[in-house]
Amino acid sequence: MPIPVVCPGCKARFSVSEKWAGKQGPCPKCKTVITIPEPIEGEVEVHVPEQFASGGRDSKGRPVSKPIARKETKLTATLIAAVVGSSLLVIVLAFAVRFLPETAQLPAVTVGLCLVSPALAVAGYTFLRDDELEPYRGRALLIRATLCGLGYAALWGAFWPLPAYGILTGEPWQWLFIAPVFVGVGAGISFACLDLDFGSAAMHYCFYLVVTVLLRFAVGFPPLWALGGNSSF
């Protein structure tokens, strides 16, 4: 094993064979006489067996371990068609609610909101999730998206008393205080349910809010900024 040597004269560093241990010789640069030190006793060198150098091999010499392949989540034509088709269906149903009796509109909208909210949570998650993290799929995604969507729907329920009890009177400046609260709570819901960073979580809720406001317009409810006083959903 080579022995590291430092010249006391020019401070040059080099290695010599262990057969010169304990002997003297001139430095190849400044010719200062150097005494080669003895090898360090008790030094342990660990040699990894060849069969374990690459993760282990079986009796036939084939690697035992294999790298975990990363699955890319891509939008397929079938998925895009399903999203577009379901979106058109939801819009048609929203317009159909207009022809229901007034007493049946709010229950129909409530049921529809609870059904469409998890789907919107999944749709927003597909393009706002972190590509560096393994995405949720299958049952795990279904459970998390359902919890997130129902949480978003509950925010609409929390918004309902504001105009009814005179808290929201139709003044534009009131939205400077109301909107940040709802966006912050909505971002917290998607942050907890879908593991999005807080910025993406806020965008996720805003995406949901924009879609549901458009559906609200399709149903025929008054715009949010017109709510106040005796106006209602």
Domain housing 151 = 77-226
3 lies in a domain? Answer: no
153 lies in a domain? Answer: yes
129 lies in a domain? Answer: yes
69 lies in a domain? Answer: no
Residue range 205-225, pLDDT digits in tens = 999 999 888 888 888 877 666
> How many domains does the structure of the chain reveal?
1
32 lies in a domain? Answer: no
Rounded CA gap, 138 and 43, in Å? Answer: 54
45 lies in a domain? Answer: no
Q: How much is the pLDDT for 73?
A: 56
Q: Which helix (H) or strand (E) holds 145?
A: helix 138-159
Place of tokens 């049921």: 111
Rounded CA gap, 43 and 182, in Å? Answer: 65
Provide CB contacts within 8 A for 197, sequence distance 6+.
130, 191
198-203 mean pLDDT: 94
pLDDT at 230 > cutoff 50: no
Rounded CA gap, 152 and 149, in Å? Answer: 5
Q: How much is the pLDDT for 45?
A: 62
CB 168 within 8 A of CB 158: no
Give 121's Cβ-side CA count (13 Å radius): 30
Question: For the ranges 13-17, 119-123, 189-193, which has the lowest average pLDDT?
Answer: 13-17
108 lies in a domain? Answer: yes
Q: How much is the pLDDT for 146?
A: 93
Rounded CA gap, 148 and 196, in Å? Answer: 12
